[in-house]
Structure 1
Amino acid sequence: MSEDGQHGITLIAFVGSVFSPYYAWARRRGRGDPDDHCALNVAIYSKGQGRWAMTERGRKHCARSASQFTVGPSQLDWDGQCLTIDINEVGVPLPRRIRGRIKLWPQQLFGYSTPLDEAGRHRWGPLAPSARIEVDLSAPDLKWQGHAYLDSNEGDEPVERGFHTWDWSRARMRDGSTVVFYDMQAPGQADRTLSLRFTPQGTVETIETPPVQTLSKTGWRIARRMRSKQPVQLHEQLEDTPFYQRALLKFDHAGEPLLAFHETLSVPRLVSPVVQAMLPWRMPRRA
């Protein structure tokens, strides 16, 4: 988010794109090579200049090492202090160019990783819960600075084998700490919840898990919820799709009014045949 709160951007670099219908079809044929299903998802949230791109690319268009990841004409590079992301993508459904450079400087690097499922086949952890970001785009013409968050997810199996639904949120506190709630649900099973605070000093603290606050359903009728002792207010709906939603929420935590990025994933919706048939319209592929 920009310092003035007027601009936002989300980027996700995929190896073995978890939402890819092409990867799912390849796995069913016994040819599920994750390096043949890479993508850089770019979502820009700026009034009048919003863009969204997620073109999947095959192995011959991609390369990765410990410090660099190339996905077609786009590239991510880590020099030990700064993550530089050079973007050259075409948006969908309107074919508008997204081009420019983003730089992210972690405030504190974390080596924290934790299993999300009982078998430990799915893991998550923030690399930089608090960071400084600089956005310099020529298409659209956007230049701003602000605060950012960087994390990592990895899995040894398809997401539908480990999860049913989850709600995830993160918020930046006044002292620079980042609060994260990871709330996972499955029919007939007890909720699995992570309630964590990542401090500027590099420590990870388990915090009290607040009660559930039920939110209004999305336009696509996705049920969602948030962990908070007080009622939660929808500030802005950023994404609303048949299986996934992203929003900004206002809530209170530890006596502070906070603004949280909040996401909900419905795995049954994701793997439904109807949604899988729709996804290529939003996720084109270059083999």
Structure 2
Amino acid sequence: MSDDGQHGITLIAFVGSVFSPYYAWARKRGRADPENHCALNVAIYSKGQRRWAMTERGQRHCARSADQFTIGPSQLSWDGDCLSIDINEVCVPFPHRIQGRIKLWPQQLFAYSTPLDAAEKHRWGPLSPASRIEVDLNAPDLQWQGHAYLDSNEGTEPVERGFHTWDWSRARMRDGSTLVFYDMQAPGADDRVLSLRFTPKGTVEPIATPPVQALPKTAWRINRRMRSAQAVKVQEQLEDTPFYQRALLQFDYAGEPLVAFHETLSVPRLVSPLVQAMLPWRMPRRA
């Protein structure tokens, strides 16, 4: 998010894209190679300049090393201090270009990683929950600075085997801490919740889990919720799809009013045949 709150951006670099219908179809035909299903998802949330791109690339278009990840015409690189993302992507179905460079400077690096499921086949951990970001795009013409969050997810099985639904949120506190709630639900099972505070000193502090606050269903009728002791307000709806939503929420924690990035994923919706048939229209593939 920009310091003035007027701009936002989300980037996700995939090796073995969990949302890819092509990867799912390849797994059904036998053992699929995740390196053959890479993508850079870019979503821009600026007034009058909303753009979204996610083109999957086959293995011959991609390369990875310890400090660089090339995905077709885009790439990510790490120099020990700064993560640079050079973007050259095209949106679909309307062919708007997203082109430029983003730089991210971690304020504190974490080596924290934790299983998300009982079988420990899916892991998550913030690499830098509090970072500074500089956005310099020429398509669209956007330049701004702000605060950012950087994390990592990995799994050794398809997402539908480990999860049903989750609600995730992160919020920046006045003291520079980052508050994260990872709330996972499944029919017939107890909720599994991670409630954590990542401090500027590099410590990870478990916190008491607030009660559930129901949120209005999305336009696609996705159920969603947030952990908060007080009522929660949807400040802005950023993404609303048949299986996934992203929004900015206003809530309160320990008497401090906060704004959270909040996401909900419905795995049954994701893997439904209808949604899998729709996804190529938003996620083209270059083999």
Q: 1: CA distance between counterparts of 2:50 and 2:100?
A: 15
Aligned position for 1:79: 79
Deviation at 1:161, TM superposition (A): 0.1
Matches within 5 A, 1:22-61: 22-61=22-61
Q: Separation in 2 of the partners of 1:269 and 1:66? A: 35
Query: How many angstroms apart in 2 are the aligned matches of 1:186 and 1:30?
Result: 28
Structure 1 CA distance for aligned equivalents of residues 50 and 144 of structure 2: 15
**In the comparison of the two structures, how many residue pairs are matched?**
287
Deviation at 1:217, TM superposition (A): 0.2
* 1:255 to partner: Cα distance: 1.0
C-alpha distance in structure 2 between counterparts of 1:98 and 1:171, whole Å: 27
What is the CA–CA distance in structure 1 between the aligned matches of 2:242 and 2:281, rounded to whole Å?
13
Q: Answer yes or no: is 1:105 the counterpart of 2:105.
A: yes
Q: Offset at 1:254?
A: 1.1
Identity percentage of aligned residues: 84
How far 1:53 sits from its partner (Å)? Answer: 0.1
Which residue is equivalent to 1:8?
8
Q: Report the Cα distance in structure 1 between the residues aligned to 2:82 and 2:153, rounded to whole angstroms.
A: 20
* DSSP-derived class of the 1:264 partner: strand
TM-score when scaled to structure 2?
1.00
Other-structure match for 1:94:
94
Question: Which whole-Å CA distance do the structure 1 matches of 2:267 and 2:260 have between them?
Answer: 22
**Aligned-residue offset at 1:104:** 0.1
Equivalent position amino acid for 1:263 in 2: E
Report the Cα offset of residue 37 of structure 1.
0.1
C-alpha distance in structure 1 between counterparts of 2:151 and 2:252, whole Å: 23
1:196 counterpart = 2:196: yes
What aligned pairs does 1:62-77 form with structure 2 within 5 A after superposition? 62-77=62-77
State the alpha-carbon separation in 2 of the partners of residues 177 and 252 from structure 1: 15
* Matching residue's letter, 2:108: Q
| SS of aligned partner of 2:45 | strand
Runs of 4+ in 1 over 2 A off after TM superposition: none
CA distance in 1, matches of 2:244, 2:93: 17
**CA separation in 1, counterparts of 2:229 and 2:93?**
39
Please give the alpha-carbon distance, in whole angstroms, between the structure 1 residues aligned to 2:228 and 2:187: 22
Q: How does 1:243-282 map to 2 (within 5 A)?
A: 243-282=243-282
Deviations, residues 84-141 of structure 1 (Å, cap 9, x unaligned): 0000000122100100000000000000000000000000000000000000000000
Structure 2 CA distance, aligned partners of 1:93 and 1:220?
20
Alpha-carbon distance in 1 for matches of 2:93, 2:205: 42
Q: Give 1:147's aligned residue.
A: 147
1:137 — aligned with what? 137
Q: Distance in 2 between matches of 1:164 and 1:31?
A: 23
Query: How far apart are the structure 2 equivalents of 1:53 and 1:41?
Result: 6
Q: CA deviation at 1:31?
A: 3.8
For residue 269 of structure 1, give the secondary structure of its aligned residue in structure 2.
helix
State the one-letter code of the partner of 1:261: F
Paired position in structure 2 for 1:179: 179
Distance in 1 of aligned mates of 2:90 and 2:245: 22
State the secondary structure of the residue aligned to 2:10.
strand
TM-score, normalised by the number of residues in structure 1: 1.00
Question: Which residue pairs with 2:205 in the alignment?
Answer: 205
SS of residue paired to 2:2 = coil
Gaps spanning 5+ residues in structure 2: where?
Answer: none
Question: Secondary structure, in 3 states, of the residue corresponding to 1:278?
Answer: helix
